[in-house]
Amino acid sequence: MAAILVLNAGSSSLKFQTFAPAPEGPRRLIRGQIDGIGLRPRFRAEGGGAAEAREMTATEVPDLPAAMHLLWRWLNTRGGEELLAVGHRVVHGGPDHAAPVIIEDTVLARLEALTDLAPLHQPGNLAPIRLIRAEAPDLPQVACFDTAFHRGHPDVADAYALPEELRAAGVRRYGFHGLSYAYVAAELARIAPDVAGGRVIVAHLGNGASMCALKAGRSVESTMGFTALDGLVMGTRPGQIDPGVVLWLIGERGMSVAEVSDLLYRRAGLLGLSGLSSDMRDLTASDDPRAAFAIACFVHRAAMQAGALAAALGGVDALVFTAGIGENAPAIRAAIAERLGWLGARLDPAANAAGRTEIGAAGAAPRLFVLPTDEELMIAREVMALLGLGEGPGPVR
């Protein structure tokens, strides 16, 4: 069966899915992932006649390239699918890419040059591309960008107050999690078209977290900027921080650029605040006061940023929660909604506890939703549209 392979590679995990192109859009065949890479690797796959789960050792799968080799061998030995193309989530597209693109040498070189702007993600995103180019050089590969969905912002939203020469060099706000926002925008248009055409805030709350302001389904503002460090408190990233703190760390503490980068990308956020864990599940289950403090900071910053996005939109018709925390942590949703009572947000506690699609109180505005995201399906749609594989829906822009 002809199929599209979709890869979503992170620093310690490799998610994969295969889709069959169909007139109504991509049809999912297999989904799975290799997580715990380098620590306690686990392989899982299901669908399409596959049902497999096994533990491995860190020696067997020490890094992402090793995980990709393992997946590539598994795909080739199981048979059943003929790959038409591979779609990749690439976090940073820089100023050159406002839409999906077929990967060739020049594109790959430009994406590699952006590694310093997304050091947690870009190396992992590009590693599978290199392996597949070596193993199957004629197989089309498509880069789908987390930054592309935000490229229609007005200039005033993306400009930093810096000299023009720096703006011309690409120092500007980009925004991230665009594949997630594109998928959620399409889903909201399907289930609630009356509000999807208005002013919507989408909260992508996970280990990486951001919010996006949508007007008529298009991004007009986002909490992330030049890199994926800005905005909300995240698992190991601080979110909004005074640039003077970085200057102080370098000037007064004598920290190198590499040490500051390690602090901001790997030792801050929920982990830094609590000293316990970067995982919201661990923190909500803990009775340690430091865990409660980290959660309070997360909620405070989320509510504050939602207020800023409401100002950018001139009001809010709906608030949508998505991603790991947004979809699975009713207590966090409730705390954020409570802080947004001044906007008119009112939760239905029973609906929220049950994780229903709509969790707002009847008749309240803005309406409140929980929508699971699906970045891999969005990538498959974009690959189909770019390569003309079928008549399915294309990317949401």
The 10 Å Cβ neighbour count of residue 47 is 13
Do 76 and 5 contact (CB within 8 A), yes or no? Answer: no
Residues contacting 33, CB < 8 A, separation 6+: 13, 14, 15, 16, 43, 44
| Alpha helices (H) along 39-173 | 64-78, 105-112, 122-135, 155-158, 164-168
Examine the residue annotation and report whether 146 is marked as an active-site residue of this protein: yes
The answer to whether the Cα torsion of 86, 89, 92, 96 is positive or negative is: positive
Do 205 and 302 contact (CB within 8 A), yes or no? Answer: yes
In whole angstroms, give the CA distance from residue 388 to residue 371.
28
In whole angstroms, give the CA distance from residue 100 to residue 274.
39
The 10 Å Cβ neighbour count of residue 66 is 19
Task: State the pairing for strand pair 141-145/82-90.
Answer: parallel
Cis bond before residue 289 (omega within 30° of 0)? no
In whole angstroms, give the CA distance from residue 365 to residue 313.
15
Among 96, 116, 138, 146, the one annotated catalytic: 146
Residues in a beta bridge with 30: 18
Catalytic residues: 146
